[in-house]
């Protein structure tokens, strides 16, 4: 099939590999597919044979007037036809069933894989791009599986069958057909490559207009405020007309293929008829033979057309499949952690693991044989400014036995960065050797310009990204040793951009803790000060939210996001500009509620507004990936440094 | 509805007609060719007339050439018509969108509008471009072949007068039943897409909450449902082919048997029988074609309906009552204004608002998140329409101004603002194309854009918007303010537009506005007391009602809410 790959307007780069991968999916249902193939053969065979049998039936029974024989022959053909039709019925139903199952599997595997991709991948690819893997590419594969698979077998058989029949009838005459078929084939190839060129131009125009429309729809309200509608409409019309022109050419060329091939087949027909007529005159062929030969000639164009069309479709589908498989092969997040999170309770002064939800957590650290009793504790931390470093041993807690080979380390929320270097792209470092220390149970704040690295620090604690050098420890354990899911379970995060899911308000809050009771949900909403506005919504907590909660204001969405974190009651909480759209008065109320929830637990706060961070125990001022000042509010003011400038409004955060 | 869709074809209608003509003639030629052929064999070969054979051969070749021309023509015309229709539909949609009010915009989601403008239109235009050929050929072939077959033998025609309705009915039933199944399937597709979309946009939340498995389970449910729906729909649609085969094979057998009998009696020739057979097959084939076209259309009908929703959306703010007047001074008054976003909503968003703002005044509006501050000011340029009560500018109800002039006179910097792709200069001039460089510079100076202008890589020519230079939130807000000032409005509304600007710069902007634009009415919505404290009057909105109006000192003395807000910030920012 490889030689046809040039026809696809979008063709795969590595046909063989993609095909193999696709075949692996089909392999789960290989018996079904074999059966389908067999049934297709039966159905096509019946069709071909039927046409072939017409002549003998007419010659042997109808002409001599053998009614009884005719009845028997018709009955025989009837059985054959019935088999053929039943086979078609069976294969088309089977094919759809197996195709849909395969598609479902592909879609699921794709989704599962996407869940495992690191954030780095999402940074580098737009949502639209990933979305199109799920929609356009899966659709083309589905389309091809529904139809092309059977059609290709069928048309190929018909084509070969017809050519063989013609050769049987007259080898010499069939040479003409072969020549014409070759000609048609050449034309299809030529036209294919030409229309591909136009299709690429059409795609480019389509991309341009889509980009324009997306931008304008997003900025619609601004457009109205500025009376800019007319101007934009003019621009749109230009793009629209360009697209129309390009796509007209593209489609005109593709549309030409079928009629051209059909016309060529008329030529073929005419030439064959004349030649056949002359042959018959010179006695090289009998009249009946000529008649049935010409029937086959007439039939030969259709399967060629269909065959090439289906092969084109298949190639497009393979290209789609290739993009899908490429995504499936993208490197997933690495997770070699063996340290897990568990609930603990204290029994006789010792920590014991328990299935209960005690609200106390510990790390279950497997002890590799030969590992020293106190593992990679951050030694003598090279963080001179960090207050209270000496309590390392105390902080690690009394190592408690939790079964053979494991050790329980109480979760305290002690986070340390030691000489951490990180950049989203290797060439550009965002953090240049940052060392910091978060004392457990404290509220730690980061202040700094956009791009100073505040959010980056948070992303690293969560292990959304991998650091380039240095270490990050969490309760004395290198975070790379902690299983990612457990690490993230221990931290609740409220991020700058709030995202809500389609579902009720209660569902959205419950996202933080799936088994939260209604009362817990309400309590969390009250802490986040969201209860009053939720109760005023038409259906209260059962109000449906659509498309990322677009029916709520930015501030309301942030309140919900905070409620989501509050219901989770995490050991460590991270607030990344979580209250930026909330007025200061409400913010103060939330702060009080959250402080109560997070009593004795570690909280990280990132904010632009200094009033948000003012009450924090330690405030770190970041600039260009480095901590330039640290201390509490008063001491920072006394330093009269950058914090002071910010505070007195002499400096703008960017 | 399809008819309505096609009415948008406009000037491309003639191409559609031409395409149909080409296809029809081509179809007739296709039926003619076998007739010529029959002559060639029956007369030419039978009589040994070489010249006759050549003549007929040439005739056939001529037919082929004409068919070729017609074929290429039909492809071109069909493309012109289909793509033309698509372009016109897109245009009509976009044009309609220009007249949408804010509440019309709220009605549709941005992403859904994009789909309606792009892929839905593509569906329709492709259905037309591709479906035209079978759509025209089907009926032509059906009628012509029926006629010929009938003329060959009336009696035998009975066979297909039975077969035809049977197949027709079967195809009809299938098509009718598949239709609702397709729309169900589309619903399942939408659900799955929505889950993916939400998952992708919120991937950070999903990862941070470790909800991957939960998301997968949610997706699997949708995925399974989609498989079931599409399996049912496709399986039913796939019945088309076997149904066709059953009838076709039955017909062949019937004709063979019945024809054989007729021939016995001497009512029929062999040539007639085979000819008849091929025409009957042709007829059944064209029926099949027609039913395929209907299936194709069924799928595009959904797209068509979505497009029509955009075009049919009732515009709720129009220039109906407009007179030929202009805003002169910029005095604003609200008289017992009530407002809610949807008629069905129980509670009003704004209740009984009465307020008077003199021309040239600076007014601050302050209040809680969700207090409807933005809603209040959006009533002034008629972005939304007040439900009850009257909003007046210069003592004249806003409805009496032509919308364009009203919005030119009332400039607004939105809370959620956008810069568009293009240079900084083109973004600044967005409100007024013909602004001179001097005016641009003044506007930039007032909005303190000049302070960071030199630091931009290419000054005024720096690329903004998607793919452009990243300006910080504060810088972006300043650019947006400059953009609004450049319009030289009578009223300037800043909706929380300096939240990311530091207090010192904000003060500077405020001072410069007083200095350069003393006659402009300025309405400032803010979170920070410092942004509004020097205003001529400060309005406190609470829960959609005006709680109090006064100067900073007055309010500090008598308003509990104001004092609370003040207290919550006093510690934070030196006032």
- Please state, in angstroms and rounded to a whole number, the distance separating the CA atoms of residues A147 and A626: 60
- Please state, in angstroms and rounded to a whole number, the distance separating the CA atoms of residues A504 and A426: 42
| Nearest one of A334, A330, A267 to A301, comparing CA atoms | A267
- Please state, in angstroms and rounded to a whole number, the distance separating the CA atoms of residues A617 and A441: 10
Domain total in chain A? 2
User: Which long-range CB contacts under 8 A does A148-153 form with residues at least 24 apart?
Assistant: A148/A310, A148/A313, A148/A314, A148/A317, A149/A33, A149/A36, A149/A95, A149/A99, A150/A36, A150/A40, A150/A91, A150/A92, A150/A95, A151/A306, A151/A310, A152/A307, A152/A310, A152/A311, A152/A314, A153/A37, A153/A40, A153/A41, A153/A44
Of B198, B411, B527, the CB nearest to A502: B198
pLDDT digits (tens, 9 = 90+) for A631-653: 888 888 888 888 888 777 655 55
Separation in Å, CA B160 to CA B30, B127, B264: 21, 31, 20
**Where is average pLDDT lowest: A103-112, A356-365, B358-367?**
A356-365
- B454 to chain A, any CB pair closer than 8 A? The answer is no
Separation in Å, CA B213 to CA A499, B192, B423: 18, 16, 45
- Please state, in angstroms and rounded to a whole number, the distance separating the CA atoms of residues A116 and A612: 34
Q: What residues of chain B lie within 8 A of the CB of A230, using their CB?
A: 98
Contact B195, B218 (CB under 8 A): yes
Q: What residues of chain B lie within 8 A of the CB of A232, using their CB?
A: 98
Q: What is the pTM of this model?
A: 0.78
* pLDDT score for A651: 56
* DSSP states of A182-213: HHHHHHHHHHHHHHHHHHHHHHHHHHHHHHHH
Task: Indicate which CATH number applies to the domain containing A499.
Answer: 3.40.50.300
* DSSP states of B262-328: HHHHT---HHHHHHHHHHHHHHHHHHHHHHHHHHHHHHHHHHHHHHHHHHHPPPS--STT--S----
* pLDDT score for A512: 85
What are the average pLDDT values for consecutive 10-residue runs of chain B, which has 575 residues? 81 90 87 79 78 86 90 90 92 89 79 81 84 84 83 80 85 86 85 86 83 90 93 89 86 84 74 76 77 78 86 85 88 92 77 91 86 88 88 92 90 82 87 88 91 83 68 82 91 86 83 90 88 90 89 90 81 43
Of A131, A222, A497, the CB nearest to B196: A131
* pLDDT score for B251: 86
- Is pLDDT at A394 greater than 50 in this prediction? no
User: Contact B215/A115, CB-based, under 8 Å?
Assistant: yes
A599 domain-assigned = yes
A96 domain-assigned = yes
* pLDDT score for A457: 87
- Is pLDDT at A7 greater than 60 in this prediction? no
Beta bridge partners of B521: B491
Kindly state the tokens that stand for B509.
Answer: 């902007």
A44 domain-assigned = yes
User: Contact B200/A114, CB-based, under 8 Å?
Assistant: yes
* pLDDT score for A5: 29
Of A581, A611, A654, the CB nearest to B475: A654
* pLDDT score for B148: 82
A564 domain-assigned = yes
Q: What does residue A398 show for φ and ψ, rounded to 5 degrees?
A: -75, 115
- B119 to chain A, any CB pair closer than 8 A? The answer is no
pLDDT digits (tens, 9 = 90+) for A405-450: 788 888 888 888 899 898 877 777 888 888 888 888 888 898 877 6
- Other beta carbons within 10 Å of B553: 9
| Nearest one of A199, A143, A258, A247 to B121, comparing CA atoms | A247
Kindly state the tokens that stand for A413.
Answer: 């929320």
* pLDDT score for A10: 56
- B217 to chain A, any CB pair closer than 8 A? The answer is no
With DSSP H G I counted as helix, E B as strand and the rest as coil, what are the percentages for chain B, rounded to 5? 65, 10, 25
A77 domain-assigned = yes
Start-to-end CA span in chain B (Å): 63
* pLDDT score for A109: 93
- Please state, in angstroms and rounded to a whole number, the distance separating the CA atoms of residues B489 and A64: 99
User: Contact A255/B65, CB-based, under 8 Å?
Assistant: no
User: Contact B565/A584, CB-based, under 8 Å?
Assistant: yes
A114 domain-assigned = yes
CATH architecture of the domain with range B332-421+488-570:
3-Layer(aba) Sandwich (3.40)
Given the DSSP bridges, would you call strands A602-606 and A572-576 parallel, antiparallel or unpaired?
parallel
Sheet holding B350-357, edge to edge: B350-357, B332-339, B388-393, B396-397
* pLDDT score for A654: 44
Mutation target to probe the A interface, by most A beta carbons within 10 A, among B256, B317, B366, B510 is B256
Burial (CB < 10 A; 0-12, 13-18, 19+), residue A113, is middle
Give the confidence band of A547 by pLDDT, cuts at 50, 70, 90: low
| Nearest one of A40, A26, A321 to A156, comparing CA atoms | A40
User: Contact A646/B502, CB-based, under 8 Å?
Assistant: yes
Nearest-Cα distance to chain B for A367, in Å, is 26
Contact B102, A221 (CB under 8 A): yes
Nearest-Cα distance to chain A for B356, in Å, is 22
User: Contact B381/A85, CB-based, under 8 Å?
Assistant: no
Interval A74-83 mean pLDDT? 90
Which residue, chain included where needed, has tokens 């051209």? A260
User: Contact A244/B572, CB-based, under 8 Å?
Assistant: no
In chain B, which among 281-340 make CB contacts under 8 A with chain A? Answer: none
Kindly state the tokens that stand for B31.
Answer: 């039926």
Q: Which residue has the higher pLDDT, A269 or B96?
A: B96
Give the confidence band of A178 by pLDDT, cuts at 50, 70, 90: confident
Q: What is the dihedral of CA A363, A369, A371, A374, to 10 degrees?
A: 40
Chain mean pLDDT for chain A: 81
* pLDDT score for A2: 30
- Please state, in angstroms and rounded to a whole number, the distance separating the CA atoms of residues B137 and B135: 6
- Please state, in angstroms and rounded to a whole number, the distance separating the CA atoms of residues B165 and B71: 31
Query: Residues of CATH 3.40.50.300 domain(s) within chain B?
Result: 332-421+488-570
pLDDT digits (tens, 9 = 90+) for A273-331: 888 888 888 877 777 777 778 877 877 777 887 887 888 788 888 888 988 999 999 88
User: Contact A489/B210, CB-based, under 8 Å?
Assistant: yes
Give the confidence band of A11 by pLDDT, cuts at 50, 70, 90: low
State which residue of chain B sits closest to A118, comparing Cα positions: B207
Domain that holds residue A484: 477-647
Chain centre to alpha carbon of residue B157: 50
A488 domain-assigned = yes
* pLDDT score for A380: 39
Nearest-Cα distance to chain A for B269, in Å, is 10
- B469 to chain A, any CB pair closer than 8 A? The answer is no
- Please give the interface size between A and B, counted as residue pairs whose CB atoms are below 8 Å apart: 439
The secondary structure element, H or E, covering residue A84 is helix A67-116
For residue A628, give the DSSP letter: E
- Please state, in angstroms and rounded to a whole number, the distance separating the CA atoms of residues A192 and A181: 16
Nearest-Cα distance to chain B for A648, in Å, is 6
A298 domain-assigned = no
Task: Indicate which CATH number applies to the domain containing A83.
Answer: 1.20.1560.10
- Which CATH number does B1-153 carry? 1.20.1560.10
Q: Coil, strand or helix: which one is B258?
A: helix
* pLDDT score for B404: 86
> What percent of chain A has a predicted confidence (pLDDT) above 90?
10
* DSSP states of A566-577: HHH--SEEEEES
Interval A249-264 mean pLDDT? 85
- Is pLDDT at A401 greater than 60 in this prediction? no
């Amino acid at each position: 099939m490889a030689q046809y790959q040039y026809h696809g307007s979008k063709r795969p780069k590595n046909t063989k590999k993609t095909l193999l991968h696709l075949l692996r999916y089909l392999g789960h249902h290989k018996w079904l597919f074999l059966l389908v193939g067999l049934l297709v053969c039966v159905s096509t065979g019946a069709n071909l044979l039927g046409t072939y049998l017409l002549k003998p039936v007419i010659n042997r029974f109808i002409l001599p007037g053998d009614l009884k024989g005719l009845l028997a022959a018709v009955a025989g053909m009837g059985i054959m036809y019935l088999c053929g039709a039943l086979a078609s019925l069976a294969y088309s139903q089977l094919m759809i069933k197996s195709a849909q199952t395969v598609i479902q599997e592909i879609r699921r595997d794709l989704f599962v894989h996407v869940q495992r991709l690191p954030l780095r991948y999402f940074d580098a690819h737009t949502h639209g791009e990933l979305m199109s893997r799920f929609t356009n590419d899966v659709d083309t594969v589905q389309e091809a599986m529904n139809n092309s698979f059977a059609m290709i077998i069928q048309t190929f058989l018909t084509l070969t069958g017809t050519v063989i029949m013609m050769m049987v009838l007259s080898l010499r005459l069939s040479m003409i057909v072969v020549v014409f078929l070759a000609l048609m084939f050449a034309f299809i190839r030529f036209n294919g490559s030409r229309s591909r060129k136009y299709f690429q131009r059409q795609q480019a125009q389509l991309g341009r207009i889509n980009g324009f429309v997306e931008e304008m729809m997003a900025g619609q309200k601004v457009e109205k405020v500025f009376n800019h509608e007319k101007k934009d409409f003019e621009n749109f019309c230009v793009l629209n007309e360009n697209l129309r022109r390009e796509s007209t050419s593209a489609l005109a060329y593709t549309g030409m293929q079928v009629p051209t091939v059909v016309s060529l087949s008329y030529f073929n027909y005419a030439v064959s008829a004349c030649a056949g007529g002359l042959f018959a005159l010179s006695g090289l062929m009998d009249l009946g033979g000529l008649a049935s030969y010409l029937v086959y000639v007439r039939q030969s164009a259709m399967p060629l057309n269909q065959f090439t069309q289906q092969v084109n479709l298949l190639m497009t589908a393979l290209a789609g499949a290739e993009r899908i498989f490429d995504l499936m092969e993208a490197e997933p997040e690495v997770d070699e952690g063996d340290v897990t999170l568990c609930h603990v309770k204290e029994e006789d002064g010792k920590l014991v693991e328990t299935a209960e939800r005690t609200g106390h957590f510990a790390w279950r650290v497997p002890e590799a044989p030969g590992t020293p009793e106190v593992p990679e504790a951050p030694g003598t931390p090279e963080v001179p400014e960090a207050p209270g470093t000496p309590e390392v041993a105390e902080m690690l807690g009394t190592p408690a036995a939790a079964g053979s080979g494991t050790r329980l380390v109480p979760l305290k929320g002690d986070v340390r960065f030691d000489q951490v270097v990180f950049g989203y792209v290797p060439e550009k470092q965002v953090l240049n050797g940052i060392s910091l220390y978060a004392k457990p149970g404290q509220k730690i704040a980061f202040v700094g310009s956009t791009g100073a690295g505040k959010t980056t620090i948070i992303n690293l604690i969560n292990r959304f990204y991998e650091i380039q050098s240095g270490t990050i420890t969490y309760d004395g354990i290198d975070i790379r040793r902690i299983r990612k899911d457990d690490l993230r379970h221990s931290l609740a995060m409220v991020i700058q951009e709030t995202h809500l899911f389609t579902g009720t308000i209660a569902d959205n809050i419950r996202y933080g803790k799936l088994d939260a009771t209604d009362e817990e949900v309400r309590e969390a909403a009250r802490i986040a000060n969201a209860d009053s506005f939720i109760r005023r919504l038409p259906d209260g907590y059962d109000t449906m939210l659509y498309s990322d909660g677009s029916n709520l204001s930015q501030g309301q969405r942030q309140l919900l996001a905070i409620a989501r974190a509050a219901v989770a009651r995490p050991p460590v909480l991270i607030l990344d500009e979580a209250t930026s759209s909330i007025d200061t008065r409400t913010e103060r109320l939330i702060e009080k509620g959250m402080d109560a929830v997070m009593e004795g637990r570690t909280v990280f706060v990132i904010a632009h507004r200094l009033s948000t961070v003012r009450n924090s125990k330690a405030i770190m001022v970041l600039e260009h990936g480095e901590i330039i000042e640290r201390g509490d509010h008063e001491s920072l003011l006394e330093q009269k440094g950058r914090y002071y400038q910010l505070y007195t409004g002499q400096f703008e955060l960017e | 509805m399809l008819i309505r869709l096609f009415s948008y074809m406009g000037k491309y209608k003639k191409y559609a007609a031409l395409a149909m003509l080409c296809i029809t003639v081509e179809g007739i030629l296709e039926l003619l060719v076998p007739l010529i052929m029959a002559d060639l064999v029956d007369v030419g070969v039978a009589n040994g007339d070489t010249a006759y054979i050549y003549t007929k051969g040439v005739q056939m070749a001529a037919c082929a050439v004409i068919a070729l021309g017609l074929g290429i023509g039909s492809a071109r015309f069909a493309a012109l018509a289909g793509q033309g229709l698509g372009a016109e539909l897109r245009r009509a949609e976009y044009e309609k969108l220009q007249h949408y009010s804010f509440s019309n915009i709220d009605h549709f989601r941005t992403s859904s509008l994009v789909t309606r403008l792009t892929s839905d239109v593509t569906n329709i235009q492709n259905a037309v471009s591709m479906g035209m050929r079978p759509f025209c050929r089907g009926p032509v072939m059906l009628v012509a072949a029926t006629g010929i077959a009938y003329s060959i033998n009336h009696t035998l025609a009975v066979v297909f007068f039975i077969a035809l309705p049977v197949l027709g009915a079967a195809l009809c039933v299938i098509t009718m039943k598949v239709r609702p199944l397709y729309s169900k399937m589309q619903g399942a597709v939408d659900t799955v897409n929505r889950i993916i979309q939400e998952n992708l946009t919120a991937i950070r939340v999903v990862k941070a909450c470790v909800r991957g498995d939960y998301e997968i389970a949610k997706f699997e449910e949708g995925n399974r449902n989609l498989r079931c729906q599409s399996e049912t729909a496709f399986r039913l649609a796939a019945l088309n082919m076997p149904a066709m085969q059953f009838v076709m094979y039955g017909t062949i057998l019937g004709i063979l048997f019945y024809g054989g009998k007729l021939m016995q009696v001497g009512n029929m020739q062999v040539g007639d029988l085979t000819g008849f057979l091929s025409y009957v097959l042709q007829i059944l084939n064209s029926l099949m074609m027609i039913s395929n076209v209907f299936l194709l259309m069924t799928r595009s009908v959904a797209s068509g309906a979505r497009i029509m929703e955009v075009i049919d959306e009732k515009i709720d703010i129009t220039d109906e009552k407009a007179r030929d007047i202009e805003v002169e001074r910029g005095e604003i008054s609200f008289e017992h204004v009530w407002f809610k976003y949807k008629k069905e909503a129980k509670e009003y968003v704004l209740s009984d608002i009465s307020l008077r703002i003199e021309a040239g005044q600076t007014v601050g509006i302050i209040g809680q998140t969700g207090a409807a501050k933005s809603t209040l000011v959006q009533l002034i340029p008629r972005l939304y329409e007040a439900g009850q009560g009257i909003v007046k500018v210069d003592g004249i109800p806003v409805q009496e101004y032509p919308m364009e002039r009203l919005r030119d006179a009332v400039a607004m910097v939105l809370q959620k603002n956008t810069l568009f792709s293009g240079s900084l200069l083109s973004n600044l001039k967005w409100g007024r194309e013909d602004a001179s460089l001097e005016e641009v510079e003044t506007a930039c100076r007032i909005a303190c854009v000049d302070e960071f202008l030199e630091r931009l890589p290419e000054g005024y020519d720096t690329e903004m918007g998607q793919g452009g230079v990243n300006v910080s939130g504060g810088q972006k807000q300043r650019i947006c303010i400059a953009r609004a000032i450049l319009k030289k409005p009578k009223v300037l509304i800043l909706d929380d537009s300096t939240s990311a600007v530091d207090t010192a710069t904000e003060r500077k902007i405020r001072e410069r506005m007083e200095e350069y634009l003393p006659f402009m009415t300025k309405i400032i919505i803010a979170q920070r007391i410092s942004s509004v404290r020097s205003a001529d009057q400060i309005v406190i909105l609470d829960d959609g009602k005006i709680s109090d109006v006064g100067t900073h000192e007055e309010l500090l003395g008598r308003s509990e809410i104001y004092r609370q807000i003040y207290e919550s910030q006093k510690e934070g920012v030196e006032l």
